[in-house]
Amino acid sequence: MAENDGQLIDRKSHIQNLKLQKVLIGIGGGIAAYKVCEVVSALAKSGVEVRVILTDAACEFITPLTLATLSRHPAYTDKDFWQPTHGRPLHIELGEWADVFAIAPLTANTLAKLAYGFADNLLTNTVLASTCPILLAPAMNTDMWEQVAVQRNWQQVLTDKRYHSVGPDAGILACDRIGSGRMAEPSQILPHIQSLLQTNGKRDLVGKQVLISAGGTREHLDPVRFIGNPSTGKMGLAVAQAALHRGASVTLVRAPATWSTPMGVRDIPVTSAAEMREAMLQCFPNADLIIMSAAVADVKPANYAAEKLPKKLLPTSLPLSSVTDIVAELGKLKQPHQLLIGFAAQTGDIVTPALEKLHSKKLDVIVANPIDKSDSGFGSDNNQAIFINAQGRQLEIARCSKLEMAHRLFDFVQTGG
């Protein structure tokens, strides 16, 4: 486990099920190059084949030996590019080899070369010799990033559907400036690479508004005690990442969670079922796809104490009142152009109760997932499920990462099951 921005991130959770796939990493000349070591290491440890290209400027910040050790394969520089070979040219071999090409950090200089199709080093020649999706992670000083020429180049590059972007973020930069230009963290780059490997870069949700609920709501008895459930919201996070990576505009209504909402996602934090209901109803009219992955409370304490109750005053029995069924309410409001997807976390027989929920709440698709299986369900980085649509088609999904499951759910929905 590695710590980042105050949260613990299991790197392996981002890179499940990527074995036998090939990722090419291009590293530009910037101080953020050190962060890429974590990306390379995590991918290689998972069994993904990794190759690394360093520009001459990148070699001033990090050595080829470091990347070769982390990737379990020699790292390439311009010295390799200009050496005679006994086979095919190196940039052709690498370009055809890669399933996904990530460039991080992307410097202003390399960005300009990409914008105008220049090819004067191994990295840029390999870009032109490749046809796979390319993920760009810019990193530079705020004033550099905000230059008209840099922004023009950035927008021009993104008109090419091959290019996908992550970041830049805002924060404290290496120059002590506080502003935009900070390279995305490995915790953002890794899931985007996984998405590109899963989808081959397709953007089938461009123009769609996706509304997602995530996490477990809390129904308070007093300011410090509540009725809750074990949901961590990881499945909802994965759905948000998958939708974002496929081009959607994403709104995430999330109950308390330890993770950070991805850049580019509209974040609406809530605590109780009532707050979630209010947020969902407000956002619902503009949504095309609504995915209710949250574990919403069914009941709440009938009485709430505004101040912490002394232990001696805690009730020996707790009167409860019902909570509005958000999914059922949205099902009644759903318009013909909208698709409503629900989740049913169950033990034992997961299909029968899921079918009942699917029809009674007017859902288009339901995800029935077991919570009594090892390494699956609440709190796990993995999940397994049976997708069921309103026409009765079922698709069983074996245990996989939650991000992979999210992509397979969108595939199921997009193809009509």
Binding residues for CTP: 298, 308, 343, 357, 361
Whether 205 and 243 have beta carbons less than 8 Å apart is answered as yes
Residue 98 dihedral angles phi and psi, to the nearest 5°? -75, 140
Of 37, 59, 132, 175, the catalytic one is 175
Question: Using alpha carbons only, how large is the chain's radius of gyration in Å?
Answer: 24
DSSP H helices in 172-220: 186-199
Binding site per annotation, positions: 298, 308, 343, 357, 361
CB 59 within 8 A of CB 86: no
CA end-to-end distance (rounded Å), the chain: 37
397 DSSP β-pair partners: 385
339/334 Cα distance (integer angstroms): 8
Closest among 250, 253, 285, 281 to 269, alpha carbons compared: 253
Apex 290 CA angle, 8 and 281, nearest 5: 100
Helix and strand numbers (H, E) in the chain are 14, 21
Closest CA to 365 of 335, 395, 345: 395
φ, ψ for residue 138, nearest 5 deg: -65, 150
CB 36 within 8 A of CB 91: no
Can you tell me whether residue 67 is helix, strand or coil?
Answer: helix
Q: How far, in Å, are 63, 260, 286 from residue 8 at the CA level?
A: 28, 11, 34
Task: Note whether 185 and 5 are within 8 A (CB).
Answer: yes
CA distance 212 to 208: 13
Phi, psi for residue 415 in degrees, rounded to 5: -95, 10
Contact 33, 102 (CB under 8 A): no
Estimate the crossing angle of helix 186-199 against helix 234-245, to 10 degrees: 60
Catalytic (active site) residue 132:
no
Output the six-digit token pair for 5: 């921005």
Nearest to 232 by CA among 218, 242, 220: 218
- Check: CB of residue 334 under 8 Å from CB of residue 288: no
List active site positions.
Answer: 175
